[in-house]
Amino acid sequence: MKKFLKILILKLLGPMIKHIKDGNEELKSILIEKLDRDTRSCTNGILQIHLYNFYRSGIKNGSNFNINETGFRNFSQFEEDGLILYVLAVIGIKHRTFVDIGSANGVNSNCANLAINFGFHGLFIDGNKENIQQGRAFYAHHPDTSLFPPIFVNSFVQKENINQIIEENDFKEEIDVLSIDIDGNDYWIWEALEIIRPRVVIIETHIELGEDSIVVPYDKNHSYPNEDNPDYFGASGPAMCNLAKTKGYRLVGCNRYGFNTIFVREKEGEKELPEIPVESLFKHPRYTNRKKLENMVLSEEFINV
């Protein structure tokens, strides 16, 4: 069976890989890895659509689902793909649009699954030029996105330019999903965002900073990692939840490790997606192990929010 799949994969990928310039072995390996995985599960997209409709139907008929049991990884770093699918099943898909800030190449991403398996159009933003080139090539040649691939922007994101970047690429007002993961100024970027009104926000939260509502001061030139103190960046869980409330969102879930937090706009799916306490972010044993960093990190300057 494995031999048959290997032959099938090469037949499917061969024509596409020929279009990639010689010497870009890294991009070829990314394409083969990702599309190999997709080919090994040819029904992946169909199954996810059925799962989406299963949740929709179940909720309509009064069934209760636990968001913590809905996670799975397809393109995301951990189980965020499944969590986002469930959240969207609860509140419904309206616009099929996303913005991913700090997207890397847009393949290992919180929004890739939406683009490939659910027909979303979106904007990937990253400061690394090679990441952007790889992402553009991947989506331009992928059969599910080649006709109208997502937009890629190579830019170093700051709170002074984020609204302009998004507006210049024709995204504004309400979108379905916003993902922020820039290993640094995530809190400040979300605070500064005004041009779009996402229904769902998934954002990296630095839970190792403990249970106080604190955030590292904004530094427009911050770049990860900080060699002197690599863990000195970001916002604590309580700080991110407080920011969310000021912007009209509630915490509804997180990945198993607690650092990719999911917020939903108020009045959207409140019954099926109730607000969870910030303490939920600290349940995984990894938090206890990582908390030893707190004393080192907290010797630095923080802002109470």
Q: How far apart are CA 203 and CA 186, in angstroms?
A: 7
Residue 224 main-chain phi, psi, to 5 deg: -85, 140
DSSP assignment letter at 267: T
Please, what sign has the CA dihedral across residues 268, 214, 279, 158? positive
pLDDT at position 258: 95
Q: How far apart are CA 236 and CA 226, in angstroms?
A: 18
Q: How far apart are CA 261 and CA 254, in angstroms?
A: 4
pLDDT at position 8: 46
CATH number of 39-304: 3.40.50.150
pLDDT at position 4: 46
Listed as ranges, residues in the chain with pLDDT below 70 are 1-24, 26-28, 30-43, 227-229, 291-299
Beta-ladder partners of 235: 215
Q: How far apart are CA 52 and CA 92, in angstroms?
A: 9
One DSSP character per residue, 147-205 reads: TSPPEEEE----TTTHHHHHHHTT--EEEEEEEE--SSSHHHHHHH--SEEEEEEEEE-
Which residue type is seen at 49? Answer: I
**Nearest C-alpha neighbor of 76 from the set 36, 34, 45:** 34
DSSP strand E in the chain: where?
97-101, 121-126, 151-154, 173-180, 196-204, 214-215, 249-254, 260-265, 303-304
pLDDT at position 291: 67
Q: How far apart are CA 187 and CA 181, in angstroms?
A: 10
Digit-coded pLDDT (tens) for 181-217: 998 999 999 999 999 999 999 999 999 888 999 999 9
The answer to whether 138 and 31 have CB atoms below 8 angstroms apart is yes
Burial class (CB in 10 A: 0-12, 13-18, 19+), 226: middle
pLDDT at position 45: 86
Radius of gyration of the chain from Cα atoms? 20
Digit-coded pLDDT (tens) for 70-100: 999 999 999 999 999 999 999 999 999 999 9
